[in-house]
Structure 1
């Protein structure tokens, strides 16, 4: 799996995640930010905090860190799968 494919899969995971229950098609900007953070972060806690920050900045609403950690583990599993296949 190359980086582009990993990014596409990460975007699909994030598109399905609807942390504010407002509809899955309203998070495009945040998804791009999280995928960018995924490129440089390998620690689930660091990525979770970044996810929390990105969504909070855009929506001025707070997501519990535990929910961000859940999604960060999914994204990092995808990232490490991509690294192992390359």
Structure 2
């Protein structure tokens, strides 16, 4: 996978996560969480595993719990982007 693909993928992931805005605080409010989630996207391949990790990341920062169903929905979108990029090789 070329560096360009990785950057492009990360950009798409950032946009999905900013748009998600689970706590309705505005797109700019999640920089460190988004960075952590992008790392997790590279580590996890299963939507449920990724969803649990996303849930933990946001909960650690905001002391608020996001329903796993909502996290799973976004994890599918994120993994779809990863698949798209890895399939282009």
Instruction: Normalising by structure 2, report the TM-score.
Output: 0.93
**Structure 2 counterpart of 1:10:** 13
Structure 1 residue ranges (4+ consecutive) displaced by more than 4 angstroms after TM superposition = none
Deviations 1:34-82 (A, max 9, x none): 0000011100000000000000000000000000000000000000000
2:75 counterpart of 1:72: yes
Greater alpha carbon shift after TM alignment, 75-84 vs 18-27 = 18-27
Q: Structure 2: how far apart are the matches of 1:47 and 1:26?
A: 21
Which TM-score applies when normalising by structure 1? 0.96
Unmatched segments (≥5 aa) in structure 2:
none
- Compute the RMSD of aligned alpha carbons: 0.9
Q: How many residues are matched? A: 86
Q: Could you list the runs of 5+ residues in structure 1 that have no partner in the other structure?
A: none
CA distance in 2, matches of 1:41, 1:4: 18
Quick check: 58-67 or 12-21, which moved more?
A: 12-21
